Amino acid sequence: MSHRQAGSRAADSGNRVPVVVQAPDPISQAGVRSQLGQHPVIDLLDGTEAGPGAVAVLVNESPDETTLSRLRRLVRSEGAHAVLVVGAIREAELLDVIECGVGAIVWRHEASAHRLVQAVLAASRGDGDLPADLLGRLITQVGSLQRTAAGRPGAPLSGLVPREIDVLRLIAEGMDTGEIASKLSYSERTVKNVMHGLTTRLHLRNRAHAVAYALREGYI
């Protein structure tokens, strides 16, 4: 199912997605709110506080320590989903951003209304939505760690079963739940159950964090 179809289904069923926007300046704040407000499934909340199940869209030029601290608070303390809209991310910041619990990242120069809504809907469902070039950089960054993990006696040490590895590998290739289910001949519920099981067992916050974990431990 496409993001647009998912949005239409949510809108038809009345399940609007609560969204707060946090930006460093009034122009960015107004611009993102205007883009998101065009879609019927988005319920823009006043203020910047996000509650459980809400999606917080954070806008900044780069993920500085203030932004990372805010992300950790939103995801871990407030129970929100997070979308990060940034101009650039340095190599050293990639895993920090993922491990803060960010479910979706959008480049500022690609932040059209469609792209922002797509990211918000993915984050609200617990799906990952990373730009392809950013995922490629993440894979490159952890390559040496992957080789190190693969070379340890008995590694990897904590157990992912084969179907969990299969699902994570397809997530890393950019597939959504429906595409993964079709590829592996599973139901979508099975794919979701696989992800829920491994993220709960390993204390991972979302799909992006799970992919980062699998890469770092040498599974994919």
pLDDT at position 142? 53
> All domains of the chain, ordered by start, with CATH?
17-129 (3.40.50.2300), 135-147+158-217 (1.10.10.10)
User: Quick check: pTM over 0.85?
Assistant: no
Percent of the chain with pLDDT over 70: 83
Beta strand pairing call for 17-22 and 42-44: parallel
Confidence of residue 159 (pLDDT cuts 50, 70, 90): low
Q: What is the mean pLDDT of residues 99-124?
A: 90
Collapsing DSSP to helix, strand or coil, 39 comes out as coil
Q: Using the predicted structure, report yes or no on whether residue 5 has a pLDDT greater than 50.
A: no
Closest residue by Cα to residue 212 from 124, 95, 59, 86: 95
SS3 annotation, 84-137 = EEECCCCHHHHHHHHHCCCCEEEEHHHCCHHHHHHHHHHHHHCCCECCHHHHHH
The helix (H) or strand (E) run that includes residue 56 is strand 55-60
Q: Using the predicted structure, report yes or no on whether residue 161 has a pLDDT greater than 60.
A: yes
* The two three-digit tokens of residue 206, written as one number: 């979302």
Q: Using the predicted structure, report yes or no on whether residue 126 has a pLDDT greater than 50.
A: yes
pLDDT at position 50? 79
Eight-state DSSP code of residue 151: T
